[in-house]
Amino acid sequence: MTDLDIRWIQRFSNFKRTFLLLEKALEIKSPSLVERAGLIQFFEMAFELSWKLLKDYEEIEGFTVKTPREALKQAFQAEIITQGQDWIEALQDRNLMAHTDNEKTAIAVEERIRHKYFPLLKNLYDTFEAKLDQF
């Protein structure tokens, strides 16, 4: 087992913890301002770990990936993820939320997290759970 093999497993472990926190936060149907901020923060963390997980895994496959966009494109081409455009939109919203404190925008992003981005992260979680079982 190489360092690269171990790295994606460690990254998945971190992703899994954050993903499960996001899943728990999504159980709150009408979040307060502070709860919404926490939910968005868990999304940002889960998204950050998701592209780094993809990057680590792609490096094992021999690819060189430097940016989130490259990691997502390569993962889509390798059929590790589906709905590539939705992943790119998630990246854009992650970047947007890092630079805004507008509540109207936060509410809109929360809705996209609930209905569009969380299912993407769930599919990634399931994919790597299966890979871990095969490892």
Predicted confidence (pLDDT) per residue in 14-51, tens digit: 999 999 999 999 999 999 999 999 999 999 999 999 99
Count how many domains the chain has. Answer: 1
Q: Is the dihedral of CA 45, 50, 51, 57 positive or negative?
A: positive
Per-residue confidence (pLDDT) for residue 74, from 0 to 100:
97
* Calpha distance 123→54 (Å, rounded): 13
Neighbours of 122 (CB within 10 A): 13
Range(s) of the domain holding residue 88 = 3-134
Neighbours of 14 (CB within 10 A): 15
**What is the per-residue pLDDT across 65-123, written as a single tens digit (0 to 9) for each?**
999 999 999 999 999 999 999 999 999 999 988 777 788 999 999 999 999 999 999 99
Q: Looking at residue 41, which CATH number applies to its domain?
A: 1.20.120.330
Per-residue confidence (pLDDT) for residue 4, from 0 to 100:
61
